[in-house]
Chain A
Amino acid sequence: MRSVAVIGASLAGLYAARALRDQGFDGTLTIVGSERHRPYDRPPLSKEFLAGRMTEADLALETDDEDLAAEWRLGVRASGLDPRDRRVLLADGTSIAADGVVVATGATARTLPGDSPTLEGVHTLRTLDDASALRADLVPGRRLVVIGAGFIGAEVASTACELGLGVTIVETAPAPLARALGGEMGTALGALHEERGVGLICGVAVQALTGGDRVDGVLLADGQRLDADVVLVGIGARPEIGWLEGSGVELGDGVLCDSGGGTSLPGVVAVGDCAAWFDPGLGRHHRVEHWTGAVQRPAAATATLLSGGSAPAPPQAPPYLWSDQYGMRIQFAGHTLPGDTVTVEEGDVAARSFLAVYRREDRPVAVLGVDQVRQFTRWRRRLATVNTG
C-alpha cells in the first residue's frame, strides 16, 4: 500500500494517522479535515473552553515535536467517493486517489425539525467554531434555554450557570439521560440542576422558537413560553456519512463495519463517531460516540487496512464516558438496558457522591460514579474483566 487518505482530522483521524505510521506505513499520507483547525480535543468545548479556562492552544491534540509526515488538507469537505480507483472527491473540486481510505468524518449536531436556522442566538455545539460562537453569546444576565438534557446540554447548562446566566433545560423524555443511565439515575442527576437554580422541564416537546432577527423565546408543546436570549439545541448528533452515498460503502446508522473496522468496500475502513462496528458482545452493529471508542479502535482499523484482511477485534473495553457538571465528576461505563437493577454501592445519592452498579441477572453490566473517581476506576476495570473473561 503506497498511499492512504484519512478523511477527518479530529481525534479518530489523528489516531488513525498515528497508528498507520506506528505500524510501519511509510507511503503518502493525506489527512483531510472539513474544519480549518488542526486536530483538537472536543470534550472541553462544553466545559473548560466554554467557561474560558482553556484556550484554543490548550485543546491541541498534537505534540510540539510530532511529525506524521502527512499532507494536511484542512477546511475542505469530502463530497464523494468513487470506488473504481478509491478516489475521494473534495468540495473544492479536487480529488485524492489512494490505495487505502480511512473514513473518520465524525458526526454533525442534530438540529430541530423545521428549525429556522437564520435566528441569531440559536446554537448547536459540536465544533470549535460552534463553541467560540456560543461562548461569545453567553453574557452574564442573559437567559439561556437548553433544548435536550443529554450530557452536552447538561454541561452547557452547568457552565452557563457558573457564568451568571439564567438557565432552563427542556427535555422531551420523562427524565434526563433516561436512555443512557435509566430513569432512576437520570432523575438523580436531574436534581443536580434544580439544586443550582437551573430550571428543568421534562416530558414536554419544543414546538417552535420565536423571535425576529434574534431568538426571543421557546414555545413548548403544552403552551408554555420560555423567554430566551440564547438557545442551545443539544439533541444529539448524526453520523456524517452522506458523502458516501452511492459509493458502495454500506451505510446504516453510521458506516457499517466488521469487528475490525473494515467496510463493505475493500481498502476502506471507518473509525470514530461515524462508524458502526459490529460488536460481537451485542451481536449487532453499534456506533460508539465516545472519546474512548475514537482512541481504541483506530489501531485495529489501520491494521485491517494494511493487512488487506480483517484485523482481530480490539479488546472489548466497556464504553466509557465522563461529564463534569457543577464541579462534580460524573463517570459512566458499560451498557444498560431497561430492566437492569441499580444499586448504590458507595456513598449516598442525597450527598451527591455515590457509585451505582447496574446488574442484569446478577451480572454487573454498567457502573455510574458521581465524585467517586477511585472506586469508579476499580469498577470499570472489573467490568472489563467480567465481560471479556
Chain B
Amino acid sequence: MIPACPLAALPRGEAFRLDTVEPPIAVFHTDDGELYAVDDTCTHQDASLADGWLEGCEVECPLHASRFDLRTGEVDAPPAKLPVRTHGVVVEDGTVYVVPSDLPPNLPPGARARTA
C-alpha cells in the first residue's frame, strides 16, 4: 500500500498524480465521491491522465480525447487501443492509499517519464 495524499487535499472532481512510483499513478475523486486509481500515462501516447477531463466515472485523455472507464480501465473511444491498468484505493485515517496492481502496465511506445 502506497500513501498518495490526504483525502482533504483531493476534492471531488480533482485528480492527484502519484509520481513517486514508476510508472506514475493517477488517483481520481469523482463528483459522486468515488475514488479510483489508474496508471497515469495514457496507453496511446505520453499524456498524463491526471491532466485529463473527469466526467462521471470516465477520464478523457488531454491529448486526443480517448476516454477511459476508471472502474475497469477500458477505453471506449479511439485512438487509444488498450485499456489502462487499474489499481486499488483505500482510505485510512484520512489518507488515500493506492494498492498497486501486479499486472503488467499498458504503456505507450516510447513513453518517457514526465514528472512535472
- Judge if A343 is at the interface, Cβ distance under 8 Å: no
Q: Which residue of A lies closest to B116 (CB)?
A: A371
Of A50-58, A171-179, A206-214, the one touching chain B: A50-58
Q: Which residue of B lies closest to A353 (CB)?
A: B116
- Judge if B110 is at the interface, Cβ distance under 8 Å: yes
- Judge if A363 is at the interface, Cβ distance under 8 Å: no
Nearest chain A CB to B114 CB, angstrom units: 9
A374 touching B64, Cβ below 8 Å: no
Q: Out of A41, A48, A373, which one reaches B62, CB within 8 Å?
A: A373
- Is chain A's interface secondary structure helix, strand, loop, or mixed overall? helix
Nearest chain B CB to A139 CB, angstrom units: 21
B62 touching A376, Cβ below 8 Å: yes
Complex Cα spacing A102 to B110, Å = 34
B109 touching A373, Cβ below 8 Å: no
B62 touching A63, Cβ below 8 Å: no
- Judge if A381 is at the interface, Cβ distance under 8 Å: yes
The tally of residues in B whose CB lies under 8 Å from a CB in A reads 17
Q: Which B residues, 59 to 78, have Cβ-Cβ distances below 8 Å to chain A? A: 62-65, 78
- Judge if A25 is at the interface, Cβ distance under 8 Å: no
Q: Out of B47, B110, B116, which one reaches A58, CB within 8 Å?
A: B110
B79 touching A58, Cβ below 8 Å: no
B48 touching A373, Cβ below 8 Å: yes
Q: Which residue of B lies closest to A376 (CB)?
A: B62
B51 touching A377, Cβ below 8 Å: yes
Nearest chain A CB to B16 CB, angstrom units: 12
Complex Cα spacing A292 to B110, Å = 22
**Complex interface: chain A residues within 8 A of B116 (CB):** 371
**Complex interface: chain A residues within 8 A of B48 (CB):** 373
A63 touching B81, Cβ below 8 Å: yes
Q: Which A residues, 25 to 78, have Cβ-Cβ distances below 8 Å to chain B? A: 41, 44, 48, 51, 53-55, 58, 61, 63
Q: List the interface of chain A (C-beta within 8 A of B).
A: 15, 41, 44, 48, 51, 53-55, 58, 61, 63, 291-292, 295, 322, 371, 373-374, 376-378, 381
5 A-B pairs with CB atoms under 8 Å apart are A55-B109, A61-B78, A295-B78, A374-B50, A377-B62
List 7 other contacts, CB 8 Å, given A58-B109, A322-B63, A374-B62: A54-B110, A58-B110, A61-B78, A61-B79, A295-B79, A374-B51, A377-B51
